Amino acid sequence: MKKSILSLSFVFFTILAVNAQSTTTPATVMVATAPVENPNAPDLKFESETLDYGTIEHNANGDREFKFKNTGKEPLIITNCQGSCGCTVPTWPKEPIKPGASAAIKVHYATDRVGAFEKTITVNSNAKTPVKVIKIKGVVKPDPTAAAGTVTPSPAPATATPIASPDKK
């Protein structure tokens, strides 16, 4: 008798455990809604989305500008600009840019880094396209003094002259 009760209890708990794993919630229907686009929203149009520094000298002026125009019907507000690394520092207009008006995002690249570079600046705004990525690229020549192999010699260490020991007579 104990075995049959134990067996029935085991079957009951097994059925209970199996049913606990299944979900019985009704299927939900997901309706995709397209975001409503504001036809009057500002529109950020750059003269060029890539700025080529070309080949520049080591420690040359790394300042450049991305010129743009608000072609929308509402004021454009740039909320943030972020360079892809610390060597690329953007500065953007903090005041709203009126419809039809032009402005510029200034970018400083640290030209003490030798070699080819390609960096991005992410622009966040209230434009139709709220996130825009612009690029800078170029090549920084090596430092001419380092490339020539001229090394300034350090002064020679002072030589010690032996001190004559007093004669012991």
CA–CA distance, 31 with 26 (Å, rounded to integer): 16
Alpha helices in the chain (DSSP H): 2-21, 144-147
Whole-number pLDDT of residue 114: 94
Whole-number pLDDT of residue 57: 95
CA–CA distance, 93 with 75 (Å, rounded to integer): 12
Q: Is pTM beyond 0.95 here? A: no
Residue 83 · residue 138 · CB < 8 Å? no
Mean pLDDT by 10 residues, the chain (169 residues): 70 66 57 72 95 95 96 96 95 97 96 95 96 97 72 53 57
Residue 74, Cα to own-chain centre: how many angstroms? Answer: 28
Amino acid at 105: I
For the chain, give every domain's residue range.
44-145
**One-character DSSP codes across 79-115:** EEEEESSTTEEEE---SPBPTT-EEEEEEEE-TTS-E
Whole-number pLDDT of residue 92: 97
3-state secondary structure of 140: strand
| pLDDT one-digit tens code per residue, 126-156 | 999 999 999 999 999 998 886 555 555 555 5
Q: Which residues pair with 102 in a beta bridge?
A: 69
- CATH number, domain 44-145: 2.60.40.10
